[in-house]
Structure 1
Amino acid sequence: MRYNSTKFGHSCPTAEIRCSVNRFRRSNFMAAAIASDAMDSVPLDIAAVLNALPEPVFVLDAQDRFLYVNLACEQFFRSSSATLIDRPLGDFLQEDSTVFSLIMQARSSHSSVSEYGLTIETQRIGSHFVSIDASAIAETPGQVVVSIQERSIARKIDHQLSHRNAARSVSAMGAMLAHEIKNPLSGIKGAAQLLEGVVENPGDRELTNLICEEADRIVSLVGHMESFSDDRPIERGSVNIHEVLEHVRRIAQSGFGRNVRFFEIYDPSLPPVLGNRDLLIQALLNLVKNAAEAVPDQGGEIHIGTRFLQGVRLAVRGGGDRVDLPLMVSVRDNGGGIPEDIQLRLFDPFVTTKTSGKGLGLALVAKVVDSHGGVIEFDSEPGRTEFRIMLPLALMRNKRS
């Protein structure tokens, strides 16, 4: 394995970065292989793999006519392959669909382009909230292979909107109650402290201590709730994401993560991110702390990485705006995984698997990422959980201004 040295002096296993390939990109390569040959000469294993995928995959020629479709694509467009092949995509989608601009971008840039959170709607196929990956086929100029994802990132992003609505409801309640709760708690704690000075019975003194501790705990919880109620725009500027990650790692290794092995896989060529340094530290520290608490006592590992994602965009629902999210930060651990029954609610306030947890850490992470105009997603299974944050770069703002 070859290693590249970063500006921080850490080793970056290049091979591991290159192995982090999206499986939909792999399906695109297989579809491209099919499109380059006659259908009856397609190797059975490649065609079988593509037809086994639950996601639609299709290949277009330079005139946007279908050259190949898998079974899921037939179901998506509600038409057989015999009907689709050689027909233009425009016969099945509206002419002003963003899908066409995405395909044109992939074709003109000779690269892969992704967009999250698109709505495709026609009378024939109905309405679908999807993410799309379009890749130009280098060997055959003009041809583009497209994969549509309905149940992965798009669903997660859509659910995150519900997460944030729930968080806003909780924050509104927290803001309203915070003042009313803190004042009487201060009086209760003050009275308990006065009693502590006059009681002689050790049992009574223990009870007054308990009152003070519980009052402090409630004040702390209300403070966390108040953090959700602040919806003011954050101050953002150019932030070196690797400096932020190094700061987080140092905090972790000097405290809660002292028994964990850390691996850093950085892309040292990344430009600054457009963000708020303190809030990014807060969010990433929460993710790393969760990872450290999830890994086993012996052999615990946390992998922190950065990558540049070419052509990744988020469609802003309810409008025509699109946000480029080319910088990805990942935090991966080898813990036991997240229970499936809470994965869809993971970013909701008060959802936790910890017996002593408040369930506000990941909700706060989601709020910070949202305030940066980014997206957070995760994959989890026993032995491997990875959180990925996609953010805009500082130079993106300069290009728009």
Structure 2
Amino acid sequence: MGADRRTLAADGPPTDDALLAALDLLATLVAVVDPHGVIRYANHALEDAVGLSRRNLRGVALTDWLTQPALLQNALQGMRGHEYAVIRYDTHLKRLLREPLPVHLVLAATESPQQRIVEMLPLEQQTRQEREQRLLEQARANKELIRNLAHEIKNPLGGIRGAAQLLQMELAGRDDLVEYTAVIVHEADRLQSLVDRLLAPHRRAPVMADVNIHEVCERVRAIILAEFPRGLSVVRDYDTSIPELRGDRELLIQALLNLVHNAAHALKDRIAAGDARITLRTRVQRQVTFGKQRFRLALELHVIDNGPGVPDEIKDRIFYPLVSGRDGGSGLGLTLAQTFIQQHNGLIECDSRPGHTDFKILIPLP
């Protein structure tokens, strides 16, 4: 880092170390360039996006990494002629071994005539942040709805069950009528169980401790393979260097189990054919922003299956309570999983198409 800063100062007027340190904390991609667009400094986010270190980027024309180099060349020329102070436009940033990244580019002058700041906001990141905000708002609304609805149901439900039991005692010996009261009691118990599951995430605070996420994955893997011993393979794809996180082990197991169980049921046809596959993949994501917060490190835990995908008609509602894509489903598994992960300051995202469904858990790491 120090060498980068000295080189920057040698190629142009001195730049404050505090400024460069601040650029490294930004989620957006930032380069400091000379008036002709040659890179003098690149922040961590730009390094990660392109796939090269700042040492290799320094001295290279930024236009070489843009799919429309003429736009930046014209903008720099206009800035040299003092026609503009700030210029904005959309373009694509080239990346090693990956598709170009759509970005909103902002070119701004600085106090030094020999330096320009180029900031690139990934358009997919902006879309993702908006989606995350919708998920958080949806979760808050769901929480209030669930708690209020559950309490409204619980009280009259107890009265219905109690009345049915009293009636059952009065009808002793009338087997034809007792059968009806037994149905009332049974259905009341079923609804009570549903209400209890709705309220479960709000009944106790998470008990935080150091958790090895791979122990969680192995526990869930063992449970699923015991339930589906034939026709289903659960593939491990772990990054074993991931540090322990602070979390409630039981809640994390339940959240992951809900996702994997959901995937297994979606794979019933492939299980019958013998080629069903679920992949548990762990990775570290660096300098990630979600929930309007910036984190240096975050856990990415993927649950990937080769099933038919999430039906289009419920894709935007899969984390809503009581929304299910299969017959007999309660519609609570994904809702509860999202709630448990949000209790760890994280969230769950879904990317689904036929043959590939990926539920991604994101949780900040210490």
Report the TM range for the smaller structure's normalisation: 0.5 to 0.7
Q: CA RMSD in A?
A: 3.9
Cα distance in 2 for partners of 1:386, 1:315 equals 18
AA aligned to 2:187 is E
Q: Is the 8 A contact 2:168 2:178 kept in 1?
A: no
2:204 matches 1:213: no
Q: How many residues align?
A: 283
Cα drift, residue 301 of structure 1: 1.2
After superposition, the Cα gap between the structure-2 partners of 1:367 and 1:198, relative to the gap in structure 1 and judged at 3 Å, is same
AA aligned to 2:353 is E
Cα drift, residue 340 of structure 1: 2.0
AA aligned to 2:252 is L
2:66 matches 1:91: no
Cα distance in 2 for partners of 1:64, 1:364 equals 49
**Identity of aligned pairs, percent?**
30
Q: Is the 8 A contact 1:302 1:333 kept in 2?
A: yes
AA aligned to 1:91 is V
Q: Is the 8 A contact 1:192 1:211 kept in 2?
A: no
Q: Is the 8 A contact 1:171 1:229 kept in 2?
A: no
Superposed, which structure 2 residues align to 1:158-169 within 5 Å?
158-169=133-144
2:266 matches 1:294: yes
Q: Is the 8 A contact 1:156 1:377 kept in 2?
A: no
2:363 matches 1:391: yes
Q: Which range is displaced more, 189-198 or 366-375? A: 189-198
Cross-structure match for 2:252:
280
Cross-structure match for 2:162:
187
Q: 2:282 aligns with which of 300, 303, 306?
A: 306
Cα distance in 2 for partners of 1:368, 1:187 equals 33
AA aligned to 1:237 is A
Which runs of 5 or more structure 2 residues have no equivalent in the other structure? Answer: 1-36, 39-48, 89-103, 109-116
Cα drift, residue 248 of structure 1: 0.9
Cα distance in 2 for partners of 1:233, 1:84 equals 54
Cα drift, residue 388 of structure 1: 0.9
Q: Is the 8 A contact 2:305 2:358 kept in 1?
A: yes
Q: Is the 8 A contact 2:133 2:291 kept in 1?
A: no
Cα drift, residue 69 of structure 1: 4.4
TM-score normalized with structure 1 length: 0.60
After superposition, the Cα gap between the structure-2 partners of 1:380 and 1:90, relative to the gap in structure 1 and judged at 3 Å, is farther
Cα drift, residue 212 of structure 1: 2.2
Q: Is the 8 A contact 1:174 1:229 kept in 2?
A: no
Question: Which one has more relative contact order, counting CA pairs under 8 Å at least 6 apart?
Answer: 1
Cα drift, residue 145 of structure 1: 7.8
- The structure having more radius of gyration, on CA atoms, is 2
After superposition, the Cα gap between the structure-2 partners of 1:289 and 1:90, relative to the gap in structure 1 and judged at 3 Å, is farther
Q: 2:322 aligns with which of 344, 350, 359?
A: 350
Q: Which range is displaced more, 80-89 or 250-259? A: 80-89
**Deviations 1:12-32, CA, capped at 9 Å, x for gaps:** xxxxxxxxxxxxxxxxxxxxx
Which runs of 5 or more structure 1 residues have no equivalent in the other structure? Answer: 1-34, 37-55, 75-79, 94-119, 125-141, 397-401
